[in-house]
Amino acid sequence: MVEVTIYFHHGGEWLTIPEPHYDRGCVTYWKGYEPDLIPFIDLVNEYINKLRFVGVQELIVLAPSGKYFEIIDDEGVRTLTSFISTEYKSIHLFATEDCELSVDVTDIVMHDGSFLLSPIVNEGTVCSESEDDSNNGMVFSCSDYDIDELENFVTKKKRNINESLQHYKEIVKDHIDCGTAYDNSLVDYSTIALYFKDKLQSDPKYKVKELKADLHRVFELNVSEAK
C-alpha cells in the first residue's frame, strides 16, 4: 500500500480574488501514513490541539489540478484517499477557523472528475524546505514569501504569554505602534477574556471592529489602533 505524507498549512491567509487561494504561511506534516487509517476527526484535531486553532470551520484540500475542495466528514476523507497512487501521495490540507470567514469551495464528494485533472505547475517560484526535528514540523520558505513575517509567526507559536505578559514585549517589538489607551481598574484580563469567549461562541463572525466598540461600551476601555 502507498503511504502518504499529509501537510497541514497554517499561519497564512485566504484570498478570494481571482479565485480562492491560500497565501503565505507555514506547514507541519505527518509522514508515512496509510490512507485507510486517516479519520476525519484526527485531521481536525491536528489543527485544534497542535496548531492552536479556536475551532475548525472548514477542512480544505488542495488538489493536483490546483483547485481547492472541502472535506466535510469521513466520506470526504474516503473520497480523497481514493485518489492516492504512486503519483499522488502528498496531501496538502488547509483550514478556516470558527472565527474566520468561510471559503467558497466545492465539496470533494462533488468533485466531478476535476480533482486529478492536471499537475500543479508553479512557474517563477522557487521553494525550499527544512525539517525541524524538535516538533516534527516543516517550514516552507518561498521566494515570494515575507521571511520576516514567517519568522515572527514561528516565534509567536513557540512563546507562552502568561498573566504577567512575560515575553510579550519581545514578541511584538517593532511590530506594534499603539497610541494612548486608558485602563479601567475594575476590569481584569480574565473578565474580558470570558466576555469575548462567549461572544465568539455565539457569533463566530464577530469582528475586531465590533470588539473594540464593545470594549468601550461595556467596559469603558479605549482601544487604540495597532498594526
pLDDT > 70: percent of the chain: 59
Enumerate residues 6+ apart whose C-beta is below 8 A from 117: 63, 64, 65, 67
Type and span of the H or E element at 9:
strand 4-10
Instruction: Check if CATH label 3.10.20 holds for domain 4-144.
Output: yes
Strands 106-107, 68-71: pairing is: parallel
pLDDT at 25: 83
Task: Please report which confidence band the pLDDT of residue 210 belongs to, taking 50, 70 and 90 as the band edges.
Answer: confident
User: In the predicted model, is pLDDT for residue 19 greater than 70?
Assistant: yes
pLDDT at 219: 62
Distance CA 202, CA 206 (A): 9
Distance CA 104, CA 62 (A): 13
pLDDT at 77: 94
Distance CA 73, CA 56 (A): 12
What are the extents of the domains in the chain?
4-144, 176-227
Distance CA 8, CA 43 (A): 9
- Per the DSSP assignment, residues forming a β-bridge with 60 are 70, 94
pLDDT at 194: 73
Mean pLDDT, rounded, for 159-188: 54
Dump pLDDT digits (tens) for 48-73: 999 988 899 999 999 988 889 999 99
pLDDT at 183: 56
Q: Which range is least confidently modeled, 77-86, 94-103, 122-131?
A: 122-131
pLDDT > 90: percent of the chain: 25
Map grid coordinates 485531521 to a residue: 43
List the 90-97 sheet strands across, edge first: 106-107, 68-71, 56-62, 90-97, 4-10, 26-33, 137-142, 127-132
Cell of 61: 484540500
pLDDT at 138: 43
